Amino acid sequence: MTCHQADHEPSMRAASFWPCAAERQVVAPTRRARRCRGWRGFLRISMIGLVSSAITQGASAQIAVYDPANYAENVLHYVNQMTQIKNQLDQVKYQLRALAKLPSAPWRNAGQALANIGGLMGAPHSLGYAASGVSTTFRSYYPVTKPVTDWPTEQRAQGHAAVNVFGAAIDATAQQQATVAAGRAAIQRMKQLNGAVNGHEQALELQNSAAVYSAEELMLLRQAVMTQTNIQAVYFAGRINEEVQRDEAARTALAQLATPQTASPDLSLRVTP
């Protein structure tokens, strides 16, 4: 009988489970070694599990979850924002265009012509409407009721004054003619700009240009009317003054003839010794 059977004879089952002392001495270290290796394996598995869990969590934190519905909603939101920004840019562009000035305003310089005409009709001691003291000068040339005392001299002076103002009127008309070409060019420019106006600012500027052009035309027309009135007044005043002065001279002569002459004193031709 073996030691295993001698020591554990009552129960073969127990003998099969519990080893003998010699075997226990051999088995015990082996089981402890296995037990140590088991714990080490368990720790290794636990560490691997923890590391795997950490890696999985990190990967989950870095990888974004794709949501088609949310993505489509965000795309529509951004599209709406871009549309609003485009509309705002268009509004700013339209406002800038509305505030823009005309590239070249259709102005003309009628001021120089007006000044020239005023200078021609304002010569000193002339019968022009712009001359200083023209009323006094006019009455000196056409006294009407004053009898003629030096007919040749007075007639020459009246003739020169009338011809001078007629010549000034001719020169003024020439100045008026010089503004016609510039006015025609300005009107043509307005027509071109009328079809290319952008914004209310350019429309207002073009309207103001047309209003200023009309005002300048009225000023030129006003000077033309004054010049025409001036020469007509001088002409008819000369004719009327000639007739009235002639009649006045005749009346003065008749009055002198109708005045009774006083008798002259008697004269004696006797020579006293």
Q: What is the pLDDT of residue 200?
A: 77
Residue 148 lies in a domain: yes
Q: Are 169 and 228 in contact (CB under 8 A)?
A: yes
Tell me if 27 is assigned to some domain. yes
Asked, for residue 215, whether it belongs to a domain, the answer is yes
Give the best-scoring range by mean pLDDT among 38-52, 89-103, 113-127.
113-127
pLDDT digits (tens, 9 = 90+) for 59-109: 444 555 667 777 778 888 888 888 888 887 777 776 666 556 677 778 788
Does residue 10 belong to any structural domain of this protein?
Answer: yes
The predicted pLDDT at position 173 comes to 93
CA torsion, points 86, 87, 90, 94, in degrees to nearest 10?
-170
Question: Are 161 and 89 in a shared domain?
Answer: no
Which pLDDT band, with edges at 50, 70 and 90, does 53 fall under?
Answer: low
CA–CA–CA angle 130, 134, 136 (5° rounding):
165
Same-domain pairing of 181 and 235:
yes
For the chain, what is the domain count? Answer: 3
Pair (246, 184) in one structural domain? yes
Across the range 121-137, mean pLDDT stands at: 92
Q: Report the distance separating Cα 26 and Cα 23, nearest Å.
A: 5
Residue 210 is encoded by which pair of tokens? 């047309």
Read off the pLDDT of residues 95-112 as tens digits, 9 standing for 90 and up: 666 556 677 778 788 888
Greater pLDDT, 113 or 29: 113
Residue 70, domain member (yes or no): yes
Say if residue 52 is in the same domain as residue 70. Answer: no
Answer yes or no: do 125 and 235 share one domain: yes
Q: Are residues 70 and 55 in the same domain?
A: no
In a domain, 173, yes or no: yes
One-letter amino acid of 90: D
Same domain, yes or no: 155 and 246: yes
90 lies in the same domain as 12: no
**Are 127 and 76 found together in one domain?**
no
In terms of domains, do 134 and 26 share one? no
- At 170, is the pLDDT very low, low, confident or very high (cuts 50, 70, 90)? very high
Plot region of 144 (φ>0 → left; ψ -120 to 50 → alpha; else → beta): left
Q: Note whether residue 155 is domain-resident.
A: yes
* Cα gap 248→148, rounded to integer Å: 8
For 204-222, b/e burial (b = at least 16 CB within 10 A) is: ebbeebeebbeebeeebee
Express each pLDDT in 182-202 by its tens digit: 899 988 988 888 877 777 778
Q: Which residue do the tokens 């009328």 mark?
A: 194
Range of the domain at 77: 65-99
Q: How confident is the model at residue 129 (pLDDT cuts 50, 70, 90)?
A: very high
260 within some domain: no
Q: Which of 12-16, 126-130, 165-169, 254-258 has the lowest mean pLDDT?
A: 12-16
Q: What is the pTM of this model?
A: 0.56
Q: Are residues 54 and 184 in the same domain?
A: no
183 and 213 housed in the same domain: yes
